[in-house]
Amino acid sequence: MIPRYSTPEMDAVWSEPTRFGRWLEVELLATEGHAAIGVVPAEAAAACRAGAPVADDAFVQRITEREAITDHDVAAFVDVVQDAIGAPAGSWIHYGLTSSDVGDTALCWAMRDAADLLIEASTELLATLVEMARSHRDTVMIGRTHGIHAEPTTFGTKVALWAMQVDRDRRRLRAARETVAVMKLSGAVGTYSNIPPEVEEFVGAALGLTPVPATQVVARDRHAEFLYACASVAATCELIAVELRHLQRTEVREVQEGFKPGQKGSSAMPHKRNPISAETISGLARVVRSNLLAGLQDVALWHERDISHSSVERVILPDSSQLAFYMMRRLRRLVAGLVVLPERMRANLDASHGLVFSQPVLLALVQNGSTRDDAYRIVQRNAMRAWDDGVDFRSLLEADDEVDNAVLDDAFDLGRSLQNVGRIFDQLDTLTVR
């Protein structure tokens, strides 16, 4: 991932020293697991642990140099580790293992740690949204369908629905974490032909990963589920970002992104105050979604394995988790610093001459004895004139001989339109924010 969208926390999960450090720990634990059942001498396993190299940049460099000769990263790694430990103890490194035993176990370990960060970020975002929803529970605004005024709602209601979706994403992340927190040390085609299952169990217990049946590789539907959880997060972030972009348009201007001292919105136009965070989030969502397709294509491999998935995963797994984490962090900052303009929201609601009460009027006329088709025709006729001529909708209805004015007070009551908003907040209150 390019530095612009990287975070220190997720960088640490996917860095090269961390990756090779995980490989090293898997190898050492496997040696100790063999020692526990008497296959490897106990003193040899202890010597491997004591003589193991430090997983730092110099270690990575030695592996890279060796890979230029072996043209195989795990083989190069094993050579470097064995050389560092020395014979005879070092010869027990990688005993009975195949490359995917080490690489897949370490990769699942990385995905589990990445999922933990994503769950934490989703929880922080959820808490911020819940707080904003509650603070704007009664901030009246116009709801829009197809971009056109529909009926009144509140800004808090809108944000509450976002919060519920983020909570669903958090559940998906937790499920994906469970799915990928697995491992395998079952050998070349997964039959334990050269490594006892007890060693796999020993390593899994030490790492907190669950051993699962596998071919030579862990099934890639697990990785695809992790990528789906990341893509779902990205889609939710974009949903919120697109709405905030629309609400910030000059013609709407119901919210504004925070604008810090010294910030510039345009190199050419000093007046510009653009929704740059929301636009960035919308753009990055496209990348994460596209990575999901590649992850799904990785599920089908030849026979017990091939490596067509490997090159793809080196890109999409770090990038998707990094971007999902970055997007949630940036969206949280955006929401926390958002400027909400209630007066403008109310002005926009009133700008359509009362047309937002057309459905309550329709229903009131039906309750008063009109057929639905007749009531619809009466309301639509007056609504079109109100819009075309820019006159007050209620005044036109009051002058219409086919309308009983007695039904209009309740139909045009804003409180009636919003009387059941509390039901949404009752549901919001059931969420476990932390």
CATH class of 355-411: mainly alpha
Give the pLDDT of residue 1: 79
Give Cβ neighbours of residue 41 (< 8 Å, ≥ 6 apart).
35
Rounded CA separation 334/332 (Å): 5
Question: Is the pLDDT reported for residue 429 higher than 90?
Answer: yes
Q: Catalytic residue, from 72, 135, 193, 266: name it.
A: 266
The verdict on whether 146 is a catalytic residue reads: yes
Lowest mean pLDDT segment, chosen from 5-19, 173-187, 259-273: 259-273
Quick: pLDDT tens for 303-341.
999 999 999 999 999 999 999 999 999 999 999 999 999
Residue 426 CA to residue 423 CA, distance in Å, equals 5
Q: Is the pLDDT of residue 213 over 90?
A: yes
Closest CA to 208 of 173, 183, 172, 171: 183
Using alpha carbons only, what angle is made at residue 374 by residues 373 and 379, rounded to the nearest 5 degrees? 100
* DSSP annotation string for 160-203: HHHHHHHHHHHHHHHHHHHHHSEE----TTSS-SSS-HHHHHHH
Burial class, 103, CB count within 10 angstroms (exposed 0-12 / middle 13-18 / buried 19+)? buried
pLDDT at 266: 85
* Maximum pairwise Cα distance, the chain: 103
Active site annotation includes 303 = no
Q: What is the mean pLDDT of the chain?
A: 97
- Give me the mean pLDDT over the 192-220 stretch: 97
**In the chain, which segments carry CATH 1.20.200.10?**
108-185+218-257+273-342+419-434
CA dist 388 and 353 (Å) reads 11
Q: In this predicted structure, what is the pLDDT of residue 98? A: 96
Q: How would you classify residue 139: left for phi > 0, otherwise alpha for psi between -120 and 50, otherwise beta?
A: beta
CA-based angle 429:416:346, to the nearest 5? 85
Rounded to two decimals, what is the model's pTM? 0.95
Cis ω for the linkage preceding 88 (within 30 of 0) = yes
Q: What residues does CATH 1.10.40.30 cover in the chain?
A: 355-411
**Ordered alpha helix ranges (H), 368-421:** 372-389, 393-398, 408-411, 414-417
Tokens encoding 413? 């009551």
- Backbone dihedral region of 143: left (phi > 0), alpha (psi from -120 to 50 degrees) or beta? beta
The fold adopted by the segment(s) 108-185+218-257+273-342+419-434 is: Fumarase C; Chain A, domain 2 (1.20.200)
